[in-house]
Amino acid sequence: MSHTPAEPPAPSGDLAARVLHVTKSYGTGDAEVRALDDVTTGIPRGRFTAVMGPSGSGKSTLMHCMAGLDSVTSGQVFIGDADLTGMDDNRLTRIRRDKVGFVFQAFNLVPTLTALENITLPLDIAGRRPDQEWLDRVIDTVGLRPRLKHRPSELSGGQQQRVACARALASRPEIIFADEPTGNLDSRSGAEVLAFLRASVREMGQTIVMVTHDPAAAAYSDEVLFLQDGRLVGTMPDPTADAVLERMKGFDLPEVAAR
Ligand SMILES: Nc1ncnc2c1ncn2[C@@H]1O[C@H](COP(=O)(O)OP(=O)(O)OP(=O)(O)O)[C@@H](O)[C@H]1O
């Protein structure tokens, strides 16, 4: 992991996370894969940002590096004002625990715990008392109050993912990273989860970054970042599903692929 000392630590302003000239390579020599190639971008606070791009374009790698789940080969990563590059594992673990929420394609709920116990589990593990007012707001926005005593097996896929979203929100993190959160859901349940994620941004001021393949899911966001071949190749504010689909089709054109 190397640092770029020449890069002045730009002020975070109202960015919840930033990457500066981030490169991430796997393997060496002939086997080297450059998953991210000099990516610089910021995630505005209180906004819903989607990350799209063809398979293998670096979406998951960008998310993992931004969230401090993976190290970068060069460049800098910030969560708020905290520079993750060069941070030791203990501090990284604390940042992830205190400032970051995660939602994955697999719901990752504990089967023996109720919905409510799953939602508060990370706080319990961290020895933190939930902010009851905030928790009530999250539970009501997610629409799960009648289901709080149910175990995951008694909930639909969409309800389970809403529990996972509420779990990510419970600690009121600075930023939530969602990797294909609707990938395992039918379109109706997916729409419920996306509507909830959007509501948590619009009504509760949360910041969400979501990796997705689905133009209809990206249309719930405030802005889409497009990756191709490990590079940031464009952005689209206020996306519609049709506009995103058109942009994605462009990635198959030889002149775009050759760039
Ligand atoms: N652990 C790894 N070892 C080697 N190569 C890797 C590793 N992880 C990712 N890659 C490579 O890095 C590139 C970017 O992968 P990444 O998973 O970030 O893409 P993605 O856009 O999320 O793809 P998908 O949409 O298919 O999930 C790909 O070429 C991938 O094969």
Residue whose token pair is 């600075």:
174
Q: Which mutation among 61, 63, 105, 231 tests ligand 1's pocket best, with the greatest number of atoms within 8 A of CB?
A: 61
Which atom of ligand 1 sits closest to the CA of residue 27? 4
Q: How far apart are CA 103 and CA 112, in angstroms?
A: 19
- Closest CA to ligand 1's atom 3: 26
* pLDDT score of 1 more than 50: no
Residue 78 domain-assigned (yes or no):
no
Q: Based on the structure, what is the number of domains in the chain?
A: 1
Please state the ipTM of this predicted complex. 0.97
The 3 state secondary structure assigned to 81-132 is CEECCCCCHHHHHHHHHHHEEEECCCCCCCCCCCHHHHHHHHHHHCCCCCCH
Mean pLDDT of 128-133: 88
In this structure, what CATH number is given to the domain that contains residue 94? 3.40.50.300
Residue 243 domain-assigned (yes or no):
yes
For residue 5, name the pLDDT band (cuts at 50, 70, 90).
very low
CB of 58 closer than 6 angstroms to any ligand 1 atom:
yes
Mean pLDDT of 162-169: 91
Domain range enclosing 241: 45-66+87-254
Name the residue among 125, 124, 70 with its Cα closest to residue 92.
Answer: 70
- Closest CA to ligand 1's atom 11: 35
The tens digit of pLDDT for each residue in 18-32 reads 999 999 999 988 889
Residue 22 domain-assigned (yes or no):
no
Q: What is the pTM of this model?
A: 0.88
- Closest CA to ligand 1's atom 12: 35
Q: What percent of the chain has pLDDT over 70?
A: 92
Residue 142 domain-assigned (yes or no):
yes
Residue type present at position 34: R
